Amino acid sequence: MSVAELNTAHEIVLDIRKLRLETVADRRVLIPNLDLTIRRGEIVGLVGQSGSGKTLTCFAVGGLVPQGVRVAGGEIHLEGRRIDNLAEAEWRAVRGGRIGMVFQDPLSSFNPVKTVGSILIESARRHRGLDKRAARALAVETLRAMRLPGADACVDAFPHQLSGGQRQRAMIGLALINQPALILADEPTTALDPTVQLQILALLRRQAQQAAALMITHDIAAAGAVCDRIAVMLEGEIVEEGPTTQVLYEPRHPFTRSLRDAAHLGRRP
């Protein structure tokens, strides 16, 4: 292997090879054969309809496939290390440590009876072995880096006391507090209003520079706004993958075209 090849190999953060997911009960194939690679500094959008297997892929990468579903084949590598066969204890170090996840609805993703900060502090303490004070300082610093105004106050706020945008910033902060290699974002802007959507996408774009990100969305326009590459998923398979401009402006697959046209329809007054 040449030095150049080694370097490129190193830059690959997430490498999904021939991933196959089935139901446990009747062995129905949900995702037959999925390949996807994400490099450092890159945001890849996984676009498709509801039920196409986007979220399932995302959870498989996080090692948390829902009950009744199992990984039936393939490999998942994170930073050159195979992770799909890790023991539960090793997984716990990866989740939240090397992989951070942003959920769709930030209101239901924070425990309503706990302060936003306590969740961040807990995660920082566990993964970094910090004491309470240091973890708190890190939480404030992280929230500030998410451009959350009044980060000091937000640490002690309950989820309902923050606005939707503030909550999603805090959620991204939670995903990023331990400086993960990979950010999984499952529909991160769907529950937000349009102006806030743009801010959150910009934030993700900025934060993904040190890491890699996989953004799941059904909104091809949102994907077009931040992603370097877009993979279009249909019934468990990636039917088209390429640089954003190519997928948006010269789609090869008819489904991609219909997705794009649907986005245009939605945006015209």
Partner 1 sequence: MSRSLSPAIVGAGVVGLFCLAVMIFGDTLSGHDHRAIDLSMRLAAPLAPGHLLGTDELGRDVLARLLNGMRWSVGSALCATLIAFCIGTTFGLAAAHKGAWLGGALKLLTTFTQSFPSFVMAVTVIALLGDSGFWAVTLTLGLVTWPVFSRVVYAEASSLFQREYVQAAEMTGMSVARLYAHHVLPALVPTLSVLVVFHFAEMIVAESALSFLGIGAPLGAATWGAMLSEGRAFMLQAPWLTLGPAFAMVIIIVAAHSVGQHLRNLTR
- Cα separation, 76 vs 243, in Å, equals 22
- Cα separation, 137 vs 166, in Å, equals 19
Amino acid (one-letter) located at 28? R
Residue 79 lies near partner 1 (rule: CB under 8 A): no
By the 8 A CB rule, do 33 and 237 touch? yes
Task: Please state the closest distance from residue 193 (CB atom) to partner 1, in A.
Answer: 19
**Could you give the string, one character per residue 171-210, with x where binding to partner 1 holds by CB under 8 A and - elsewhere?**
x--x------------------------------------
Task: Please state the closest distance from residue 9 (CB atom) to partner 1, in A.
Answer: 26
Task: Please state the closest distance from residue 69 (CB atom) to partner 1, in A.
Answer: 11
Residue 255 lies near partner 1 (rule: CB under 8 A): no
For residue 45, give the H/E element and its range.
Answer: strand 43-48
Angle between helices 164-176 and 194-207 in degrees, nearest 10? 20
Q: Name the residue nearer to partner 1 (CB basis): 215 or 259.
A: 215
Q: Name the residue nearer to partner 1 (CB basis): 66 or 80.
A: 66
Of 28, 48, 23, 27, give the one whose Cα is nearest residue 36.
48
- Site residues for partner 1, window 107-146 (CB under 8 A)? 108-114, 119, 122-123, 126-127
What letter does residue 110 receive in the DSSP assignment? Answer: S
Interface residues toward partner 1, by CB under 8 A? 62, 64, 67, 91-97, 99-101, 103-105, 108-114, 119, 122-123, 126-127, 171, 174
